[in-house]
Structure 1
Amino acid sequence: MEIPKEDFRKIQMIMLEMLVEFDRICNRHNIVYSLDGGTLLGAIRHKGFIPWDPDVDVIMHSNEYKKFKKACGEDLDTRRFFLQDHELDPYYRWGYSRLRRIGTEFIRAGHEHMKYRTGIFIDIMIVDNVPDGPIMRKFHNAFCYCIRKLLWSEAGQVLHPKWYLRLWYKLASYIPTNWLFRARELIANSCNAMETDLIRRMTGGYPSRCKYGTPKSFYDNRIQVEFEGYSFWGFSQYDRYLRLVYGEYMELPPPGERIPHIPCSNYRLVEPELVGRNK
């Protein structure tokens, strides 16, 4: 469905409300994070949201996420927000977490049959170490690909355009998700026990420029970046990071490609509670 311009902007402001709460908790509990993906790109190129993109991504190491999850149990404003991952919601199948706005609805097109709790959200991307050495990186990359596809299978049985792959995904969707997450954690814990050069989202794909992940050193230093009149943390080496992920990131895409990448079939909004700046 097409979202009216005024609602589109309100969705962005609800996401900004969640980002302010996320940042508050991280700063209060000394948790390291960075803006990520299109959100970091938006901060650098637009000083805010990419105009056609209602999306917020943040990223942190899994060790930091454990601290964040504990902090949410103590400090999250549960009147407005809830944290979602596969341990907190048994129907949630993604390898990253989400902070969602209570009182809202956001149904992704093709996900109507899925039972996880919904609502306007921001994505909390979780990264783990990647083993060094060309052979181990190939095995690790193949494992990540398989886990990502198997977790996506419940959506893939509806969304994939080819009937025989929809059938394959339907069969794959019967694999218990706790088995998949247990395998993911086993590999992640093994890699995190080592000092490595690269780091990655285990359930996310990367472009060929950084096929196996991005340098772990990006996380060593951060700076404050402006986003919609607020200040949030971003990689100090954002130029290197964004060039790896997007290439010539300061160039706008052609007009025909300036469209939202999360199609929606139904939504419900609330008035965001934003007061002043966070710094």
Structure 2
Amino acid sequence: MNFEHILYSVDSGVALLSLNRPSALNSFNEAMHLEVQQALKATLKDERVRVLVLTGEGRGFCAGQDLSDRNVDPTAESPDLGLSIERFYNPLIKQLQAFPMPVICAVNGVAAGAGANIPLACDLVIAARSAKFIQAFCKIGLIPDSGGTWFLPRLVGMARAKQLALLGEPLMAEKALEWGMIYRVVDDQDLREEALTLARHLATQPTKGLAYIKRALNQSFDHDFSTQLDLERDLQRMAGQTQDYREGVKAFMEKRPAEFKGE
């Protein structure tokens, strides 16, 4: 596949998708949205892929929406921003969270607007020490989208979520780690390799089982205790029918490393 606004490759079970509009801090225009959609579809169809890594090229991860891609004419009728959300951002966030394999986000540099919330839809967020998360929406009279109003209160609490959303102040990577918003912080020069090392490890693990873990944890926010126990029962039943479960038990009994196939 030939892309103009993203880079995409597959190696050792890992799909690497990198936003590639560095001159615009990898902000989204419609063309990049469409390429990301195409790459995600390809990832789902590729039986070799067991982990997805999302990152950005250049000095920033993503500055959110490219405002120059929207014609905001003060003398014209106001644009319907909800259409952009419905067509692009909401499907992206839903797909990342429900992706049937681990999704790692490696945040390099600035992550602003939608670019600050897309990582939160991923499973493991590794940030460069220089990275910063900015809920910039309030600066132009908008609300946090791309799941921001859902993820932030759950990750950092309501008081801190309101602080970030109402003030739009940068949250540095170390503080984001301290607040429980991300998984890990590494030196800038080590970010890509650390993310890929983690991805290569996950690519050797029981992929379907990991997908069931994601599903159980994500749905726990919407369930009462009894319903969640029922979900655990149902997912465990399915996990117990996988070849990876058989291999895991066999390897344990034979006192050897398991060789999972993601089946």
**TM-score with structure 2 length normalisation?**
0.30
Structure with the larger RCO, 1 or 2 (CA within 8 Å, 6+ apart): 1
Higher helix share: 2
Larger Rg: 2
**TM-score with structure 1 length normalisation?**
0.29
